[in-house]
Amino acid sequence: MHKRAKLIVAVVFAGFASVYVVAGSPLALAVFGVQVAFTRRRSWWLVALQVALAYGSVLLFGSSVGILGFVGGSLLLTPLWPLALAVAVSAALLGPADPVISMVLISLVVYGLTRMIDRIDEVNAARLALAMTAAAEERLRIAAELNAGLGRALSVIADGARTGTPDVDTARSSLADARAAAASYRAMSLAPELSTAKAMLTTAGVTVDVRVGHAAPLGPAGALLAAVLREAVMEIVRRRTATTCRIETLTEGAAVRLRVSHDGARTAGDENLGDLPEQVEAAGGTLTVELADDAWVTVEATLPAVRPPVQPSHDSTLSMALLAAVLVGFSAKLLLAADSPWPAALLAVIVFMQLRSIEGRHPVALSIMAVLTFAPIPLYGQAWLGVAGFLAGPVLLAFPWAVALPLVALTVATVTVSGVLLAMPIPLTVNYAISTLVTGLVMYGLLKLAQLTRELRESKDGLARAAVVEERLRAARDLHDLLGHTLAAILLKCELARRLDAERARKELDDVLTMTERAMQDLRTVSGEQRELSLAAETEWARSLLAAAGIEVVLDLDHGALGKDVDTTLGIVVREAVTNVLRHSSARRCTITTSAEDGIVRLSVRNDGVRSAAPRHGSSGIGNLTTRLAALDGRLAVAAEDGWFELTAEIPTRVWVPA
């Protein structure tokens, strides 16, 4: 985008310089070269060289004083900007009014286009810094939220454990708060739920095609659409009749749409979506279920999307002001050449339409401008030929280059033919043809650079929002996978201690104290402080926790040395797997095995007591694990058969991760 902007500016400057080259000033090429160099490096010696070249062109070669506009524009960009007025005065002393107006216009255009280039550089340089700052601020905010709630609750639980009083209520509410916070953080994006849906459907043998056409964050709409997606996918898995599923998201105006289609339905209206239709309707959206003739069923939800407010653009204001000045200046030049005041009314209409249809994408407005450009030529003759440049700029903006360039060429050719028919001198006709092109390029450059700056700012803001979303998703994963597991273990131990005699309860409460310390470490990890885990330590902890729940545990670890990122990730997998065993089964036996072969480590957690072939809960955890493993070139698989459930993770033993 930066190179494209500089190219646009160079083309506009070259257009201005060409007018003076054609008029017989070889120094105009040197002035152009210095101007391009000045846009890259602001040096006083370049201004001095430009002064010498521009005034030399006027005094030695008799060039129009309009070429002094390059000097005026450069001075406006320096602390010596008041000297630009002195250049304008000198132009007025050396030449007539028409070229003096050209000099002022060129000064304004040089200043405006160069300032826009500067703005593009500034915005581009700030993109990464803004994203990092946004992520850091979000991390601090998350830390403050969690420390104020969960941090205080953990202190209360620890105090109760020290005094021999298991605080079950606080432990239960802390776990609920952690899960609610994780759900809230995940609500900003559909990405985790899409990953989970794909993993679940793939495991169920369904071919999945996911097409993402929305931009995060989605706000409250994200949470509701995630719930719709989750229920729709669970219905597909429950039925076991689908072979293909297509999941699409797209943005339409101020709304975001989710569409889940599959070939596993036989009758319409039997999708079990609970009270989701009422929730979607209450949120101002719609939720429909349709059955096509080919037995494909489509669940479609549409909700209003929450978008950040549009900030007023300083760059658009600058471009509008410069465009208005250019239009008024060129109009003044035309009126000076006219013998009648009547063209002023038509020019006012053209200027008004130019400013109203700023992007030139209105066919009706372009058609009217085309008529006003060429129809008055028989009435006003040579004076009206300069109006054609007003049409060339919007044409360049309105159409693709393949269409715009021939249309601009046709406009320039029409001016040339009109000059011949009006018996104008050949040099003057050529001058008008070139001026038409230059005027069009000036307007195109002003507006296009404003568009590029706006697009870059939007991408910068989008990058910052993406960084915030990613930080919240990271916090949600860690809340669920790390802190959620530890809080679930604390709740289990507190409930167990409340049912035991004092001596045995004391041992469980000692474990609670250890767990609260661990939970505080997890809380710091969620808040952005990286912490390494150990697969070996996590499996030992899993054996202790499962044994406390009355589950027989078999460990068979044979994975050898692992990279720290792999070790940490597999430790998190064990945590999630054990949490699922405790929450979603009535297991009596659990086997945890690891093996390594050909540089791939394989972890398997298998348990009995599965309550259903496809557990309806826990999808957040599976989605989190899928995301974590994919980041290290690993994969996750789950399977349920004959009352047994198995979670398997495979990952390279050592993975290079950028620092």
Out of 160-164, 242-246, 329-333, 448-452, which region has the weakest mean confidence (pLDDT)? 448-452
Give the tens place of pLDDT for each residue, 225-257.
888 888 888 888 888 888 899 999 888 777 888
Average confidence (pLDDT) over 263-284:
73
Task: Report pLDDT for 89.
Answer: 92
365 has pLDDT over 80 = no
Task: Report pLDDT for 433.
Answer: 87
User: At which residue do the structure tokens 């493993």 appear?
Assistant: 629
Q: Please check whether residue 60 lies inside any domain of the structure.
A: yes
Domain CATH code at residue 541? 3.30.565.10
Give the tens place of pLDDT for each residue, 91-101.
999 888 888 88
Task: Report pLDDT for 614.
Answer: 44
Q: Give the count of domains, the chain.
A: 3
The CA radius of gyration of the chain, in Å to the nearest whole number, is 35
Residue with the bigger pLDDT between 64 and 119: it is 64
Report the sign of the C-alpha dihedral through residues 571, 574, 578, 583, in that order: positive
Burial class (CB in 10 A: 0-12, 13-18, 19+), 243: exposed
Question: What's the pLDDT band for 221 if we cut at 50, 70, 90?
Answer: confident
Give the tens place of pLDDT for each residue, 116-128.
777 777 666 555 5
Q: Please check whether residue 254 lies inside any domain of the structure.
A: yes
Give the tens place of pLDDT for each residue, 472-503.
666 776 777 667 778 888 888 888 888 888 88
Question: What's the pLDDT band for 658 if we cut at 50, 70, 90?
Answer: very low
- Cα 656 versus chain centre, distance: 27
Q: What is the DSSP string of 295-360?
A: S-EEEEEEEEPP-PPPPPPHHHHHHHHHHHHHHHHHHHHHHHH-SSSTHHHHHHHHHHHHHHSTT-
Out of 218-227, 416-425, 462-471, 561-570, which region has the weakest mean confidence (pLDDT)? 462-471
Give the tens place of pLDDT for each residue, 538-587.
888 788 778 777 788 899 888 888 888 888 889 888 888 887 787 777 88
> Which two tokens mark 341?
């005041």
Are the C-beta atoms of residues 368 and 376 closer than 8 Å to each other?
Answer: no
Q: Please check whether residue 637 lies inside any domain of the structure.
A: yes
Give the tens place of pLDDT for each residue, 407-420.
889 988 998 998 88
Residues of 629-657 as b/e, b for ≥16 C-beta within 10 angstroms? beebebebebebeeebbbbbbebbbbbee
Question: What's the pLDDT band for 164 if we cut at 50, 70, 90?
Answer: confident
Which of 95, 113, 133 is a domain's end point? 95
Are the C-beta atoms of residues 469 and 217 closer than 8 Å to each other?
Answer: yes
Which of 45, 70, 95 is a domain's end point? 95
Task: Report pLDDT for 138.
Answer: 65
Element housing 638 (H / E):
strand 635-641
Q: Please check whether residue 100 lies inside any domain of the structure.
A: no
540 and 642 housed in the same domain: yes
Q: Please check whether residue 329 lies inside any domain of the structure.
A: no
What range defines the domain where residue 20 resides?
1-95
If you average pLDDT over every residue of the chain, what do you get?
A: 79
Task: Report pLDDT for 576.
Answer: 82
315 has pLDDT over 50 = yes
Please report, rounded to a whole number, the percentage of residues in the chain having pLDDT higher than 70. Answer: 80
Question: What's the pLDDT band for 613 if we cut at 50, 70, 90?
Answer: very low
3-state secondary structure of 100: helix
Q: In what order do the strands lie in the sheet with 207-213?
A: 207-213, 244-252, 255-262, 297-304, 286-291
Q: What angle do CA 257, 469, 649 make, to 5 degrees?
A: 90
Most confident of 221-225, 256-260, 304-308: 256-260
Task: Report pLDDT for 316.
Answer: 58
Q: Please check whether residue 127 lies inside any domain of the structure.
A: no
Which of 290, 309, 328 is a domain's end point? 309
604 has pLDDT over 90 = yes
What is the C-alpha separation between 602 and 230, in angstroms, rounded? 28
Q: What is the DSSP string of 478-512?
A: HIIIIIHHHHHHHHHHHHHHHHS-HHHHHHHHHHH
Please report, rounded to a whole number, the percentage of residues in the chain having pLDDT higher than 90. Answer: 8
Task: Report pLDDT for 358.
Answer: 55
Question: What's the pLDDT band for 519 if we cut at 50, 70, 90?
Answer: confident
> Which two tokens mark 238?
């429950």
Q: Please check whether residue 237 lies inside any domain of the structure.
A: yes
Q: Facing residues of 288 across strands? A: 300
Q: Please check whether residue 374 lies inside any domain of the structure.
A: no
